[in-house]
Amino acid sequence: MTGALLARAQSTPDPTNYESMKNFLSLRIYPADIIDTHGGIDSLVTREDLEHTYTVLMLDFPGGFAPVRRSMFETWKKNVAEVFQAAQANVDSAKVQRVSKTFSLQDSAVEVDMLVEKDYAASYALDLEHNMPDLVGEWGAVVAMPFKGLVAVNKIAKGDRLDWTRFIRLTQPFIEKSYQEQPQPISDQYFWYYKGKFTRINTYIQNGVYHIAAPEGLSNLLVQSQP
């Protein structure tokens, strides 16, 4: 539980009173197919930050997490964006660890920054530019969130034409393994984070070769940087 949420840990919240619940708000990211097979989003409060996932408005109580039901949310008479902002602020106060890990393949190697926290790493990275501004370059960053407790980040500096693709190639087996084996998976995809938005990076295998296609916005930046 974050420091903001601890502020009310001893209180008895009133589900119909927003101010009573505000410090318990949190966020979790779930694969869309998991949400869809458990009743869908109609009874939840959600938004879409990463393609094929839902970011779900949650309550983080001392005994565990629970989703904010839409019936509860509607009693608050609040704007959805305002409540998500409050939830993100709570998440941003989490103590997320930053570690480095080296990945190598044949004669190529890359040092990767990772955010680690068993409950909050992925939700924390939704506000990456605020929480870890030095991990976001002029052209943004490449981000992978295989499960809730781990995020891999590669900063894209202006003019960087190759390092971000090398990051994907070298980390892909690890990201896929983490996605498949860890509890509460999120996505095995990579995303371009730029100006607060996440755009999926299309990767595919053709004739045994692993291909990476830059999103349109990043592709435009790459073209503009050509001499």
Cα 218 versus chain centre, distance: 19
Burial (0-12, 13-18, 19+ Cβ within 10 Å), 94? buried
Q: 211-227: b or e for each residue (b if 16 or more CB lie within 10 Å)?
A: ebebbeebeebbeeeee
Report the chain (227 residues): mean pLDDT per 10 consecutive residues: 52 87 96 93 97 97 92 96 98 96 78 95 98 96 97 91 87 96 95 97 90 93 78
Distance CA 72, CA 83 (A): 13
- In this prediction, residue 184 carries a pLDDT of 92
- Which pTM was predicted? 0.90
Distance CA 192, CA 164 (A): 10
- In this prediction, residue 13 carries a pLDDT of 83
- In this prediction, residue 79 carries a pLDDT of 96
- In this prediction, residue 5 carries a pLDDT of 45
